[in-house]
Amino acid sequence: MELLSDRNTTTKTWPRSGNLLQYLLTDIWEIGSDPRVSKLPLMNGGPWLLLAIIAFYLYFSTYLGPRLMKSRKAYDLRSVIRIYNFIMMCFNGYFFVLCAYHTDFGLKTWGCHPIILKEADDMWHWKLKMIWFFLLSKFVDLLETVFFVLRKKDSQLSALHIFHHSIVPLDVWVGMRYSPSESACFFPFINSFVHMLMYLYYGLSTFGESMRPYLWWKKYLTQLQILQLSLISLHCFHLVLLPDCNIPKALFAIYLPQAILLVYLFVVFFIDTYAKNARKFQSKTD
C-alpha cells in the first residue's frame, strides 16, 4: 500500500510536452490527483466541462431562462416534479444508508484516513464509483432551478439558491479528485440525509392543498440546512488542525470559508423568511 504522497505517478515538469497550453489545461490537473478517479467520466484532465455546465446553468437561470419565459405562460410541471423529487429522495436515501454503513454513521470521517492506493481493491473502486454517482446527482439537482424558471417562480431564484447549486458540484469534483478517503466523506454523508428529507418535502408539496396541513415542518428543513453547514464547517476546521495526518488539508482550508459563508446566507434567509414574517403576523394580531 502506498500513501498518496508516495504513489508512483508520472512526473510532470513544466511543461512536460513542451506545450504550455496543454500543460495548463490538462497536465497540471493530474498532479496530486488519484489515478483511479481519473478513469471516470468528467474526472480526466481539468474541470473544464464541469465549469462549462455551471457557466451555462448561471446563464440560463439568471438571463436566458427568464427571458424565454417572459412572454410565455408558466408550465404546469407538477407530475414531472413529483416524479423527479421522489426519484431524488430514493437516491439520496440509498446513498445515505451506504455512507452510514461504510463510515459508522459518519464517525470515521472525523478521524485521520490518508489516501491509500490499492489498485486491486474492488471495494474501493466500487466506493469511488458511488461517490461519482453522488457527483452526478449534484448536476441533477440543477433541474430544480430549471423547474423554477419554467414555472416562473422567480422569487425562488435567490442569490443563495443559485450560488449554492453552482458551488457544490465543483467542491465535490475537487474533493473526489484530490481527497478520495473516508476523511472527506462527511459532506456526502450528511448532505444525502438532508436532501432525502428535502426531496420528500417537495415531493409531498406537489399534491397541493390536501397535503398542506402535513407540511408544517418546512422551516425545520432550513434549520437542518444551517446545522448541516455548521457541522461541515466544524469538520473542515477539525481536519485542518488534525496533527500528523497525510491528507490534503489545503482543500479543507478552502472549503471552510465557503461553508461559513453559506451558514451566514442561510441564517439571513431564515430570519427574512420566518422570523420577520412571524413578527409581522404577531403585530397584525395584537
pLDDT tens profile 143-165: 999 999 999 998 889 999 999 99
SS3 call for 3:
strand
Q: Residue 276 — pLDDT band, cuts 50, 70, 90?
A: low
Residue 32 identity: G
The answer to whether 179 and 248 are in contact (CB under 8 A) is yes
23 inside domain:
no
Q: Residue 120 — pLDDT band, cuts 50, 70, 90?
A: low
278 inside domain:
yes
What residues have CB less than 8 Å from 166, skipping those under 6 apart? 54, 57, 58
Residue-level pLDDT at 245: 87
171 inside domain:
yes
Q: What is the mean pLDDT of the chain?
A: 87
4 inside domain:
no
Which range marks the domain in which residue 98 is found? Answer: 48-285
Q: Which residues of 30-65 are buried (b: 16+ CB within 10 A; e: fewer)?
A: bebbbebbeebebbebebeebeebbeebbebbeeeb
Q: What is the pTM of this model?
A: 0.86
19 inside domain:
no
Q: Residue 17 — pLDDT band, cuts 50, 70, 90?
A: low
117 inside domain:
yes
Which carries the bigger pLDDT value, residue 258 or residue 1? 258
Please give the grid coordinates belonging to residue 282: 404577531
Strands (E), 19-171: 116-117
Which carries the bigger pLDDT value, residue 80 or residue 111? 80
Q: What is the pLDDT of residues 191-236, one digit of tens each?
A: 999 999 999 999 999 998 889 889 999 999 999 999 999 999 999 9
Which listed residue (161, 164, 165, 195) is catalytic? 164
129 inside domain:
yes
Number of domains comprising the chain: 1
Q: Residue 18 — pLDDT band, cuts 50, 70, 90?
A: low
189 inside domain:
yes
Q: Is 164 a catalytic residue?
A: yes
